[in-house]
């Protein structure tokens, strides 16, 4: 039994240490609020086109229970619609 207790306490210590490391890295990246590409908030879906050249790009927006569509987006954050309706979006490889 002592071996089992030692193993359990060691694993618990390792898990606790890893959780502290994960918490430290999460707070070190405040820019993650608006990540590049598709992301959702609690109620809305967005596409953030990160560029330094000012280009506009075409994205394909995937919609639940409706046809998907393409959209031209400028640099920065573009609102796509309700997070309940929009399933995803991705760059299609061309500018507009």
Q: In order along the chain (96 residues), what is the average pLDDT of each group of 10 residues? A: 44 44 43 83 96 96 96 97 96 96
For residues 50 and 78, membership in a common domain is answered with: yes
The residue range of the domain holding 95 is 34-96
For residues 63 and 94, membership in a common domain is answered with: yes
For residues 54 and 26, membership in a common domain is answered with: no
The three-class DSSP label of residue 23 is helix
- For 54, the token pair is 């000012």
Could you tell me the pTM of the whole model?
0.65
Beta bridge partners, 46, equal 39, 79
For residues 45 and 25, membership in a common domain is answered with: no
What is the distance, to the nearest Å, from the Cα of residue 13 to the centroid of all Cα atoms in its chain?
A: 30
For residues 78 and 61, membership in a common domain is answered with: yes
- Which pLDDT value is given to residue 51? 93
Domain count for the chain, please give it.
Answer: 2
For residues 45 and 83, membership in a common domain is answered with: yes
For residues 23 and 38, membership in a common domain is answered with: no
CA separation, residue 53 to residues 44, 56, 74, 87 (Å): 27, 9, 11, 28
- Which pLDDT value is given to residue 73? 98
CA separation, residue 46 to residues 3, 30, 74, 93 (Å): 52, 18, 12, 18
């Amino acid at each position: 039994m002592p071996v089992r207790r030692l193993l359990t306490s060691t694993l618990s210590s390792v898990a606790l240490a890893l959780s502290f490391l994960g918490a430290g890295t999460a707070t070190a990246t405040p820019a993650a609020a608006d990540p590049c590409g598709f992301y959702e908030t609690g109620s809305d879906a967005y596409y953030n086109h990160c560029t330094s050249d000012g280009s506009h790009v075409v994205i394909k927006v995937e919609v639940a229970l409706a046809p998907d569509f393409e959209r031209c987006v400028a640099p920065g954050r573009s609102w796509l619609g309700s997070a309940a309706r929009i399933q995803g979006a991705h760059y299609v490889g061309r500018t507009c």
